[in-house]
Structure 1
Amino acid sequence: MSERLVDAYDLVIFDLDGVIYLIDRPIAGAVEAVGELHRAGVPLAYATNNASRRSSEVANLLTGLGVPADTAEVVTSAGASAAVLAQRLPAGSRVLVVGADALRAEVRDAGLEPVERAEERPAAVVQGYGPQVGWADLAEAAVAIRGGAQWVATNTDRTLPSPRGPLPGNGSLVAALRTALGRDPDLVVGKPQPELFATAARRVGAKRPLVVGDRLDTDIEGAVRAGMDSLLVLTGVSGPADLLAAPPEQRPTYVAGDLGGLFDAPAAAAVPVDQVDGWRLDDSGGPRLAGDGASVDALRLLCGLAWSGGDGTKVEPDSSAARDALHALGLRT
């Protein structure tokens, strides 16, 4: 049996926002964790739905934060979307780009011509996150799509993490077009679709990759669709209450407070569990949490209750330590 969770895998695929950094600030412990993996010779990859940076820009950002990364290790939804369009369209086809300059550059590098207006009769519209995207951009996209252009979304993340909390993501802008057009995109490339993870694994020939993410509806569901194990870290978007309510297709193999969980024994992060050192559930008179220990271990135990049909959010504390743990998990005020 592996001594550390990471030892059972031949590739670790990281999400970025909410796992390695928030916007452009490293998350506590992330630099040290990735450094330890480098020293151990563990192959790494980074798969991000954020279409506002190119792979080279992401690699440079990571390196600047103290996480050495190579462009070949980074898979972005912008690059993947441009590659898909290049397969679908003749070389030189016009593509209306709704998003950041990075997405335009990827489209251009794929042998296609990025345009900005529907009157240029684009063959496709590609929509990705960009902080400057506004109503005028969405209006041009709506006209082009109604005129017959294919509609490709880099991702449908409703929010993106920030130091101020979740902010509107590309999925929120896709929803605006969906409402205006009365239909869904023709194709969504990024997570939870499995292609980003599959691409990362193919690049190094990995047979047993581990996905590490902070979002149940993208990272974890994408790993499930790709047939890969996953670790949810509680440093980004999805929190304990979200995990307890997760449907089967969004349930991770492991959960940890942060990337330090990669170096725990697999059994110390596995989820769900029926019993865990330090904590116990008493069902007499309603579920009550008793004992003492790490709050994330209490969460693993509560997942066992919730995923078998119980209500993990209605558990009452049976000790001061249990009260503190439920408070730390955001399950009790």
Structure 2
Amino acid sequence: MAGRLLDTCDALLVDLDGTVYRGGEAVPGVPAALDAVRADGVAVRFVTNNASRSPSAVAAHLTGLGITADPGEVSTSAQAGALVLAEHLAPGAEVLIVGSPALADEVRAVGLVPTDHAGPRTAAVVQGLAQDIAYPLLAEATVAVRAGALWVACNVDKTIPTERGLLPGNGALVAAVREATDAEPVVAGKPAAPLMEASIAASGAKAPLVVGDRLDTDIEGAAAVGIPSLFVLSGVDTPASLLAAEPHRRPTHVARDVAGVFRPEAELAVGPKAAWSVAGGTVRGDGDPLDLLRALCAVAWSTGLPRLRADGDAADRALTALGLSISAIG
């Protein structure tokens, strides 16, 4: 089908949690959609800020959810962090690992030597989330950073989504070291450029498209390297947060989920839509609520949204479907 969003790219750089799966289940329709993407000759690359698992473990987890995945299709922030270290350090340099064994393995893979103790030979600290990180290791990181060691954070995600709700992410632990040192880390993961650049290089893409559910990581990460993005409503961010997005966190396209890539590109693009009118805060029309969202984004991002009023039952139903009550966005 000509004109699909998929026809504009040669690789999808796909986020995981909230985009491909939610908790312990695949997002409905996504496994089949990704298989169809590959069948169309477009590469799929799974791009995750999770630094605690190896590409093999990530691929195994995806496979267990019914999602076709190979370790060679996975890019992690641990890999990106190791590459940043390798760019700055001589082979054999000692690196303090604040993270999982998978992170230590990536550091070894680039010719550096992991340690869990800050000493005179410690050249760098790399920090990624692991659930058993405790005060003593954060203290070692503080000692090393204060002594002048290079500090690399695999990501600065404040929270991670779980079945129990949002829990502290790597960014929360990075903040502890930041407060204790008054230093700032070099960030490897989304939204910083290193992970995105490594993913593009690994996929061999000339025209990649980022697909993700978080404006502050996936979409901002796409903007950081100047490539288009598809924001999906299957995860963390909402229509309300999309309308309020700052310029560097605005996607080029919006869909319900990953399967949206098979829809016409012009349909998914942010901009005015024939079925909807948004003038002076009054919404008129009748059609797909997501089309209304795309039209609202164009207005909100150019002139700002006044208090919205629905003119007619169809407009009222569409705003309600989007969770955009007047009190929420007025």
Fold match by TM threshold 0.5: yes
Relative to structure 1, the CA distance from residue 22 to residue 134 in structure 2 (aligned partners, 3 Å threshold; closer, same or farther) is farther
Match of residue 200 from structure 1: 199
Q: Residue 66 of structure 1: CA displacement? A: 1.8
Q: Distance in 2 between matches of 1:189 and 1:246?
A: 23
Per mean C-alpha deviation after superposition, the further-off stretch among 250-259 and 293-302 is 293-302
Q: Could you tell me how far apart the structure 2 residues matched to 1:10 and 1:89 are?
A: 34
Amino acid at match of 1:209: P
| CA distances 1:271-327 after superposition (whole Å, capped 9, x unpaired) | 1x12332x22242xxx12223322211111111111112226x31222333333223
Rounded to whole Å, the distance in 1 between the matches of 2:308 and 2:162 is 30
Q: CA deviation at 1:221?
A: 1.4
Matched residue SS, 2:156: coil
- Give 1:163-182 correspondences, 5 Å limit: 163-182=163-182
Match of 1:220 in 2: 219
Q: By how many angstroms is 1:23 displaced?
A: 4.2
Deviation by residue 1:169-206 (Cα, 9 ceiling, x = unmatched): 21122122212222211x11111122322223223432
Q: CA deviation at 1:77?
A: 0.8
| Contact 2:200 2:208 survives alignment (8 Å) | yes
Of 292, 300, 313, the residue aligned with 1:306 is 300
The unaligned stretches of length 5 or more in structure 1 are none
Q: After TM superposition, list the pairs within 5 Å mapping 1:1-333 onto structure 2.
A: 2-119=2-119, 121-185=121-185, 187-271=186-270, 273-277=271-275, 279-283=276-280, 287-311=281-305, 314-332=307-325
The Cα offsets for residues 226-276 of structure 1, whole Å up to 9 and x where unpaired, read as: 1211100011222112211112211111011111211110111101x1233
Q: Is the 8 A contact 2:190 2:221 kept in 1?
A: yes
- Displacement of 1:76 in angstroms is 0.8
CA contact 1:50–1:129 (8 Å) conserved in 2: yes
Letter in 1 for 2:313: S
Q: Deviations over 1:96-124 (max 9, x none)?
A: 11112211221223222222222475211
Runs of 4+ in structure 1 displaced over 3 angstroms? 163-166
- Maintained 8 Å contact 2:13/2:44: yes
Distance change (3 Å), C-alpha of 1:78 and 1:289: same
Partners in 1 of 2:147 and 2:230 — Cα distance? 43
2:56 match: secondary structure: helix
Contact 2:273 2:291 in 1 (8 A): no
**Alpha-carbon distance in structure 1 between the residues aligned to 2:101 and 2:204:** 31
Number of residue pairs matched by the alignment: 326
Amino acid corresponding to residue 32 of structure 2 in structure 1: E
Which moves more between the two structures, 239-248 or 117-126? 117-126
CA distance in 2, matches of 1:18, 1:131: 20
Distance 1:71 1:213 in 2: 20
Native 8 Å contact 1:2 1:266 kept in 2: no
Is the Cα contact below 8 Å between 1:17 and 1:160 reproduced in 2?
Answer: no
C-alpha separation in 2, matches of 1:98 and 1:23: 25
Report the CA distance shift for 1:157/1:84 in structure 2 as closer, same or farther (over 3 A). Answer: same
Q: Is the 8 A contact 2:10 2:207 kept in 1?
A: yes
Aligned sequence identity (%): 50
* Range 245-254 or range 36-45, more displaced: 36-45
| 2-structure distance, mates of 1:295, 1:165 | 27
Alpha-carbon distance in 2 for matches of 1:328, 1:131: 37
Cα RMSD after superposing both structures: 2.0
**Aligned partners of 1:265 and 1:123: how far apart in 2?**
50
Q: Separation in 2 of the partners of 1:170 and 1:5?
A: 33
Structure 2: state its 5+ residue gaps.
none
Structure 1 residues 243 and 57, CA, compared in 2 at 3 Å: closer, same or farther? Answer: same
Structure-2 change in CA distance of 1:167 and 1:291 (3 Å):
farther
